Amino acid sequence: MNVRVSVIVPAKDPGSCIRKCLGSLKKQTLESIEIICVDAGSTDGTAQYLKEAAAEDPRIIFLSCPGASFGEMLNEGIDKASGRFAAFIRPGDTAEPEMLQKLYSVSSGMDMVMGGFYLTPAKGENETLYRLPPRYTAIKSFNPLLTFDTALDQSEIFSINCAVGSAIISREFLAKNSIYFTQIQDSLYHDISFSFKVWACASNVRLLDTASLHCGFRGSTVKNAGKDSIYPVFEEYDEIRYFIREKFEGDRKRMSVLFGIMMRLQYDSCLSCCRILPPSEARSFARKAAAEFESDVERGHAAQKYFPSFDWNLFSTWVYDPEKFMDIFERGRKPSLLSRFRKVFKHSKDV
């Protein structure tokens, strides 16, 4: 079978939601897909369910990877995949029947095609629709680093996490650029470097103004996250620094742009971490982040043009006086956990 899309589903004790997720994938109207389910040693009956599903449906492939991290599961799926494109669906997500068809139908010549999504919060709350910004979806295809005139546009594009299930990414493109997920155990931020690498290497991207994926918001996971799952965010950015130097050595102009974008994203990520951590731990984290920022600033990596003006001022305070930054931060009104999505997906609404 000439597989068009390989859908990779990682699982570690996801509970009953995996059944709804897999059911939605089995109903996809796009023909010639494979569904690779990677289990990291579930003890809630998920592994047995997936084995039985694979025995009943030849499109489903079951992989057992006991003890694997989230990134390891996704990487195992990438290595096993045979489709032209790969998609990464969390077990709490569900896809509308025509999702893959919509993405694949415009994928010719593309490194990636991505649509918006619905974010499903706790029971009893309305879903929120997140459309990709119209200034990007209005273009048939674009190069993330060359098409747009402003540095702020470039950093906003990189702020869109393309590792979500509403995107399909060329497997040939991933292999050519050696793009994989980091394999850090229990990290809340396991896909930052993956998404950055995709944007940094892509030449042809298509963003759609439609949304066909319903993402289960990991509110409880985020709310209960401890420092052991937060601090790996620094390792994600270590990986990005290494990638930029290795991949684009000799191209100083591109390296300068990518480091500038990286600094904006690292600021956003660390700000999100401060919102999640309790106040006492947030101060310690902020000091660690300030040391990371200062090291990059000394190397000339930070540039104001990649930041909105308010964020640049706050970033500058954070770099040189993290205690003052935290005083400002704690006096301010902490946004909800969903607010970081709304910063990028500005055209959102409840549905």
- Give the C-alpha separation, 159 to 124, whole Å: 29
Q: Look at residue 279 in the predicted model and tell me its pLDDT.
A: 87
- The reply to whether 101 and 154 lie within a common domain is yes
Q: Final residue of a domain: which of 192, 217, 242?
A: 217
1-30 mean pLDDT: 96
pTM (2 d.p.) = 0.92
144-151 mean pLDDT: 92
pLDDT of residue 331 exceeding 90, the answer is no
- The reply to whether 187 and 301 lie within a common domain is no
Residue that the structure tokens 């990414």 belong to: 169
- The reply to whether 201 and 286 lie within a common domain is no
Chain centroid to CA 166: 11
pLDDT tens column, 30-55: 999 999 999 999 999 999 999 999 99
Q: Final residue of a domain: which of 190, 217, 244?
A: 217
Higher-confidence residue of 323 and 222: namely 323
- The reply to whether 28 and 176 lie within a common domain is yes
Q: Give the whole-number percent of the chain exceeding pLDDT 70.
A: 90
Query: What CATH number should be reported for the domain holding residue 177?
Result: 3.90.550.10
- The reply to whether 179 and 59 lie within a common domain is yes
- The reply to whether 52 and 201 lie within a common domain is yes
pLDDT of residue 336 exceeding 50, the answer is no
Task: Give residue 123's pLDDT band: very low, low, confident or very high (50, 70, 90).
Answer: low
Average pLDDT value over all residues in the chain: 91
Q: Look at residue 122 in the predicted model and tell me its pLDDT.
A: 61
If one counts every other C-beta atom within 10 angstroms of the C-beta of residue 92, the result is 18
- The reply to whether 326 and 205 lie within a common domain is no
CB 196 within 8 A of CB 215: no
In a domain, 345, yes or no: no
In a domain, 350, yes or no: no
In a domain, 198, yes or no: yes
CB 161 within 8 A of CB 189: no
- The reply to whether 10 and 31 lie within a common domain is yes
In a domain, 285, yes or no: yes
Task: Give residue 342's pLDDT band: very low, low, confident or very high (50, 70, 90).
Answer: very low
- The reply to whether 98 and 245 lie within a common domain is no
Q: Final residue of a domain: which of 163, 191, 217?
A: 217
- The reply to whether 13 and 63 lie within a common domain is yes
- The reply to whether 146 and 288 lie within a common domain is no
Secondary structure in 3-state letters for the chain: CCCCEEEEEEECCCCCHHHHHHHHHHCCCCCCEEEEEEECCCCCCHHHHHHHHHHHCCCEEEEECCCCCHHHHHHHHHHHCCCCEEEECCCCCEECCCHHHHHHCCCCCCCEEEEEEEEECCCCCCCEEECCCHHHHCCCCECCCCCCCCHHHHHHHHCCCCCCCCEEEEHHHHHHCCCCCCCCCCCCCCCHHHHHHHHHHCCCEEEEEEEEEEEECCHHHHHCCCHHHHCCHHHHHHHHHHHHHHHCCCCHHHHHHHHHHHHHHHHHHHHHHHHHCCHHHHHHHHHHHHHHHHHHHHCCCCCHHHCCHHHHHHHHHHHHCHHHHHHHHHHCCCCCCCHHHHHHCCCEEEC
In a domain, 247, yes or no: yes
Lookup: tokens for 130:
């997140």
Encoded amino acid at 232, one letter: P
Higher-confidence residue of 330 and 40: namely 40
Residue-range definition of the domain harbouring residue 296: 227-340
pLDDT of residue 343 exceeding 80, the answer is no
Q: Look at residue 230 in the predicted model and tell me its pLDDT.
A: 92
* Radius of gyration of the chain measured on its C-alpha atoms: 20
CB 129 within 8 A of CB 118: yes
CA distances from 181 to 82, 239, 265, 272 (A): 18, 10, 17, 21
pLDDT of residue 347 exceeding 50, the answer is no
Higher-confidence residue of 190 and 5: namely 5
pLDDT of residue 217 exceeding 70, the answer is no
288-306 mean pLDDT: 97
- The reply to whether 90 and 207 lie within a common domain is yes
pLDDT of residue 220 exceeding 70, the answer is no
Q: Look at residue 340 in the predicted model and tell me its pLDDT.
A: 43
CB 230 within 8 A of CB 276: yes
* Total number of domains constituting the chain: 2
- Give the C-alpha separation, 292 to 301, whole Å: 11
Among 97, 297, 316, 330, which residue's Cα sits nearest to residue 214? 97
- Count of residues for the chain? 351
In a domain, 347, yes or no: no
Encoded amino acid at 226, one letter: G
129-138 mean pLDDT: 92
Q: Look at residue 345 in the predicted model and tell me its pLDDT.
A: 43
CA dihedral in degrees (29, 35, 41, 46; nearest 10)?
30
In a domain, 351, yes or no: no
In a domain, 210, yes or no: yes
